[in-house]
A and B are shown apart, each in its own frame.
Chain A
Amino acid sequence: MNCEACHLKELEVESFEIREVLRCILHTIVFHRALGLIRPKDIDLELFDITYVQCGEIEVEKKIDDKIEQFITWIDKHPNKKSQICLSFYEVKTKQPSWFTNKIERLYWEQWFINLNVLQPTKSPTGKSQHSKLVMDPGEESEERSSRRTLLEQSLQEVLFQIIKFVNEKKDHVPPINDGVIYCPFEITFPSSSDSTFGMDMIKRMLHSGGHPSMLS
């Protein structure tokens, strides 16, 4: 079984938009991977003129919201401009206890990479030379902000289209639906402060899965 990866188009967001954007994207992906009996729920975004669909499962909602909050906290502490959130679907497979002493392994079969470019607030000008500019800034800033907001809305729609397209094109790698399982188990990760740590997370994950995720089965 292949591990399919989809890299979504990068979105430029401000910190207050992160929550809505991430909710929209993550729920849309999970909705397409919640293949059990669900009652879909339409959610209208507040910041944008977009309606997305949730699978309606409370656990999913809670899990996604918690992860988003963690991400926002992480972003505040590490104001890096670009960040990536990885939504990974896996299968839980029990295995014979090996020398890893780990019976449960995760077999990742799909990964979604959500690329965000978190813009810093623009209220940082210092110095007298920019004082006069500050006077004009409110009007210009609002125009700039509205145009950026429109652009982000279009980009977000493109991302959602991208998800639907990917979901349609690649269906073979999706594991079979088990009875009683509403949604495919997933996890959301984002890189920690340094890339090396992120790499370590990946290595750990590979070790736990008992094999390379891209190993053909």
Chain B
Amino acid sequence: MDFPENLPSPDIGRLEQIVSHFFPKALHIVLDSRIPSLQSRGRTRDRSSGGLNVKKSDKWFNLIMGDRPAALDKLHSWHRNILDSMIIDIILIHPTDDDDDHGNVRSAETVIERWVVQYENPLIMSPQTSDPSTRYQKVYKKAIILLRSLYAQTRLLPAYRVSRQLSSSLASSRYEMVYKVSSFSDVFSPPVTETMKEFRFSPVEVPPGRLCASVTYRSDLSDFNLGAHITLPPRIITDYVGSPATDPMRFFPSPGQSFEATSFHFQGRAGRPPLTTSSASERPHSWTSGFHRPPTPNQSFSPDFHWSRTDGGDSHHQLSPPFSPSGSPSTPRGSYSPRINVRPGTAPVTIPSSATFNRYVSSNFSEPSRNPLPPFSPKSTRRSPSSQDSLPGIALYKSSRSGESPSGLINHYPGHKLTKDSKYDSGRFSGLLSSSGSPRFGFSRSPSRLSSDLEDPDCSCPFDFDDVDESVLQYSQSLDRRKTSSSISQSLPIGRKSQDAAVGVLVQMLKTAPPLRQDSSTYMASSMSGVQREGSSVSGAESEFSMARSTSDALEELRNYKQLKDLLLSKSKSVGGATRVH
């Protein structure tokens, strides 16, 4: 044991010293853990050096507390008689609900802890059984254990947490923890004692008496509303409402994208507001993956009037691709991805810009798997029993999803290689075709039929040049706006004659196609007569076409036809020029 060097030789003197040093040590332990201003300095320093630089007074009871504040020494100076009890009250100063006349908040003091250390000197001396030479060692050992447990207890009681909170810089100034050391104590009032618990440390026999310690404490300090008055340190909230981390389905308008409103500006669904630019969906959709176009602000969106939605809340420009600036085409989006699975290759697409158009075309041919164009099954796209042909112009945009080689498409393209269209499914039209507002052309025709139709320049089609011109004019105007005409013309060298024939064929197909619904047939007829307002007509159809799956398929097809038509018209612009209006 490490007794101080100036310890007197007699055991009694040692025992007395144990007792006399016990009080200030206990006081130090309690106040150090409760009153920040009395916390010891240098407690944690010299940890590696052990007790080399420790003051002798601090070595008592083998518990290094650090330098004892001067205030504590002064406090203990009055405790001259070891028989006097030492009562340490830990008082919490807290605001009350009452305010005085001046509006100041009153404060109240509540004793939340009372530590009592005393040396009980019994009137009758108990017989000493142990060897006197080792008595003080055992006593000292027990006193050490007692102070260890007292130290641990100070950390366990609720007042410790409170003092830590109040000592932080964030604490409100209206709360304070103070102490009072006395020899006599006011007896706790009955209501207070009910809320307080007591813990008595086992006394240590220190002949002729015994050292006793106890603590009475409030086990519940929630009445003081300390938590409400102590501000927490700033936290970074990562899951705030609206963060990308929370709701993946949430729509986040991208600041970068602006969609032009064009003549293709479909009114969307019935009752839907017109397409606006700012609120385009920037979220990448799973069905954008097939196009591999970088998102450009000039891209319009196709009126996916065939895109039946469950939510019904989004205007279709949200669905339309985006080719969001984020450029993550493969990000799956809840309600969208199933649609892709349902109608793979549905064209979310818009009239491409020149660069993107070329890219699309090339990508279409080079990597057929990426093209999400719907492989229109013959039966779904069959408008008339005999019409499943695809047009040569259409062939360019056909996806090779059905397994046909892209080279075949290319080969078919130059000139009038309509006869080779037989292997193409008419349904595979690019999204380009659907971007036009005029569903004038139905492209679901069998190749054989197409070829025959195309070879017949005299096919009667109500779709005369003028009508075409009007629609084409609008289309071309929009195209010009989108700067796609030149590129389209370059990449679609369809002969003028074949274009006319193709147009006529398309018109005929549309005319002869059985109506899916009563309204849809009406729609078709009106569209044949010349679509002046693509948006409105399509919007009318859109609401109906979206009703059923078969209807939506037809709508898809219609879109594709339109796109094809537009392409053809644009091509004709570039090829001929005499009869086309540019």
Contact = CB atoms under 8 A, between A and B. Distances in A.
A and B associate in one complex: yes
B146 A161 contact: no
A151 B2 CA distance: 42
B149 A167 contact: yes
Interface stretch (A1-9, A37-45, A122-130): A37-45
A32 B149 CA distance: 7
B148 A167 contact: yes
A52 B152 contact: yes
B156 interface: yes
Nearest to B148: A32
Taking residues whose C-beta sits less than 8 angstroms from the other chain, chain A's interface range is 20 to 34
A50 to B, nearest CB: 8
B1 A167 contact: no
Contacts of B204: 171
Interface in A121-169: 157, 160-161, 163-164, 167-169
A182 to B, nearest CB: 9
Given A32-B148, A38-B63, A171 B142 contact: yes
Contacts of A52: 152, 155
Contact of B64 (A32, A37, A49, A168): A37
Interface string A1-41: 00000000000000000000000000010011001111111
Contacts of A157: 156
A193 interface: no
A179 interface: yes
Chain A: interface secondary structure? mixed
A93 B391 CA distance: 102
Interface in A39-68: 39-42, 49-53, 56
Interface string B132-158: 001001100110111011011101100
B452 interface: no
A53 B152 contact: yes
A42 B43 CA distance: 11
A31 B149 CA distance: 9
B141 A36 contact: no
A179 B140 CA distance: 14
B202 A42 contact: no
A48 B202 CA distance: 28
A4 B38 CA distance: 38
Given A52-B155, A168-B149, A37 B202 contact: no
Most chain B CB atoms below 10 A, which of A31, A37, A50: A37
B523 interface: no
Contacts of B50: 37, 39
B161 interface: yes
A114 to B, nearest CB: 17
A195 B2 CA distance: 44
Contacts of B138: 176
B201 interface: yes
A167 B141 contact: no
Contacts of B44: 39, 41
A56 to B, nearest CB: 7
B35 to A, nearest CB: 15
A103 to B, nearest CB: 27
A165 to B, nearest CB: 8
A177 interface: yes
A72 interface: no
Nearest to B141: A177
Contact of B202 (A36, A41, A160, A171): A171
B258 interface: no
A171 to B, nearest CB: 5
B149 A35 contact: no
Nearest to A49: B161
Given A37-B62, A39-B64, A176-B134, A171 B152 contact: no
B47 A176 contact: no
Contacts of A36: 62
Contacts of A164: 149, 152-153, 156
B47 A37 contact: no
Nearest to B156: A160
Contacts of A50: 156
Contact of A35 (B47, B54, B62, B160): B62
B51 interface: yes
B64 A176 contact: no
Contacts of B54: 37
Contacts of B79: none
B59 interface: yes
Given A49-B161, A168-B202, A177-B141, A32 B51 contact: no
Contacts of A163: 152
A174 interface: yes
Nearest to B50: A37
A54 to B, nearest CB: 11
Given A42-B155, A53-B155, A171-B142, A37 B149 contact: no
Contacts of A40: 63-64, 151
Interface string B118-141: 000000000000000010011001
Interface string A90-108: 0000000000000000000
Contacts of B144: 35, 177
B145 A51 contact: no
Given A37-B2, A161-B156, A56 B47 contact: yes
A191 to B, nearest CB: 28
B202 A32 contact: no
Nearest to A180: B2
A49 B149 CA distance: 19
B12 to A, nearest CB: 20
Contact of B146 (A53, A56, A168, A176): A168
Contacts of B63: 38, 40
Contact of B151 (A53, A160, A177): A53
A32 B151 CA distance: 10
A37 B148 contact: no
Nearest to A38: B62
A35 B151 CA distance: 13
Given A167-B145, A177-B144, 15 more contacts: A28-B152, A32-B148, A35-B148, A37-B59, A37-B64, A39-B51, A40-B63, A40-B151, A42-B155, A49-B161, A157-B156, A164-B152, A168-B149, A177-B62, A177-B141
Interface of B: 1-2, 43-44, 47, 50-51, 54, 59, 62-64, 134, 137-138, 141-142, 144-146, 148-149, 151-153, 155-156, 160-161, 199, 201-202, 204
6 contacts: A31-B148, A38-B64, A40-B63, A160-B152, A168-B146, A168-B149
5 closest A-B pairs (Cβ-Cβ)?
A168-B202, A39-B64, A51-B155, A37-B62, A37-B51
